[in-house]
Amino acid sequence: MKETRILLTGANGQIGTALTKALRNIHGKENVIATDITEPKQENYPFDFIDILNKTRLREYVGDYKVTQIYHLAAILSANGEVNPRKTWEVNLNGLLSILDCAKDFELDKIFFPSTIAVYGRSTPRQFTPQHTSLEPETVYGMSKLSGELWCNYYYKRYGIDVRSLRYPGIIGYDSIPSGGTTDYAVEMFHAAIADQPYECFLKEDTFLPMMYMPDAIEATIKMMESPKEKIKIRSSYNLSAMSFSPAQLKNQILNYYPNLKVSYKPDFRQDIASSWSESIDDTRAQQDWGWKSKFDIHKMTIDMIENLKSEK
C-alpha cells in the first residue's frame, strides 16, 4: 500500500497555516509538505518554495516526493484579485489546471480545491442560497473559482480524478491575519479590540455575509476528504455554512468583552464585492452526503477567538 504523502500549496496563508497543523497531527509531520511562494512566518518543516505557475517544478516535486494527495490552497483572493485581474485568473485557474493534470498523470489519490461564496452573484438568491442556483460572479476571483469548480467536475467525470471541493464562507481564525479578502474585516476587528485600538471597517455596518470559524472549516475539510468516495456526490463544490452576521452584530458581540471598542464605518470598493455575494447559505447537501454539522455560532466563536488571541499576546 502507498504511504499517504500530502502536499499543500499556499500553505503559509490564513487557512494553510491551520490546515497544515491539523493534517500533520493526523498523518505525521514528515508526510505533510507545506509549500508557498513566501517565507513561512514560523517553523514549518517540511517546507519548500513552489510557485504554482511553475508547472515543471510542481511536476518534478510531486514525482520526486511521491506525493499522493494535494490540498491546493494557493490563490489570489477577492479584493487583491481586482488589482490585477489577468494575474488572478492565471494563478487561480491555470494553477488549478496544473494540479489537476498532476493528479491525472501521477495517478494521485485525492485533491482538495477550496471554492468560495464569491461564486455567487447578484442573480443568486441572497438568503439561504441553494446548492444549485444562478451563478454570475462579478469579481475575477469568483469567476476563476466558479470555472475551477467546473474543471474539477470535468476531471472527475472524464478522468476519474477524486477531486473534492467546498465553498468556504468568510473564514475567521486567530493563527494569522488575513489580507486581500472582503471578509477580512472580522479578524481585523478582533485584533483592534485586543490592542485597544479603534477600528475603521471597510464594509457598511449592516452588510450580512456567511462566515465560519477556522476550527469548523478545518473539520469540514478533513471530514469531507476522509469520507468514502461514494459519499461525495457533488464534484463541482459543496455549499458550506455555519453563521451569518454583519459588522454591527460582530461589534456588539465583542463589546461584551471589550466595552471600549470603537468602530467607525468607511465602505470602500470591497462593499460592492460584498453586496454581490449571498448573505446566508443552505448546506443541506453537505449535511446529507457526508454528515457535515457546524459547531460554532457567533457567540461561541467570539469567546474562543478572544481567549486564543489574549493567550498569544
Using the rule CB under 6 A, which residue among 9, 44, 98, 182 binds ligand SER? 182
**Residue 181 touches ligand SER, criterion: CB under 6 A:** yes
Residue 73 or 203 having the CB closest to ligand NAD: 73
CB of 173 closer than 8 Å to CB of 187: yes
**Residue 149 touches ligand NAD, criterion: CB under 6 A:** no
Cα-Cα-Cα-Cα torsion 140, 141, 145, 147, nearest 10 degrees, comes to 10
Using the rule CB under 6 A, which residue among 22, 53, 135, 248 binds ligand NAD? 53
Q: With CB under 6 A as the contact rule, which of the stretches 101-109, 167-175, 265-273, 283-291 interacts with ligand NAD?
A: 167-175
Query: Among residues 78, 114, 303, which one has the least CA distance to residue 222?
Result: 114
> Which three cell numbers mark 84?
490585477
Q: Hey, what amino acid is at 296?
A: F
CB of 174 closer than 8 Å to CB of 194: no
Residue 62 or 274 having the CB closest to ligand SER: 274
Using the rule CB under 6 A, which residue among 8, 23, 24, 36 binds ligand NAD? 36
**Residue 236 touches ligand NAD, criterion: CB under 6 A:** no
- Catalytically annotated residue among 71, 120, 141, 168: 141
Peptide bond into 137 cis (omega under 30): no
Using the rule CB under 6 A, which residue among 6, 10, 232, 265 binds ligand NAD? 10
Residue 118's SS3 state is helix
Residue carrying C-alpha cell 471600549: 260
Binding site for ligand SER (CB under 6 A): 77-78, 116-118, 170, 181-183
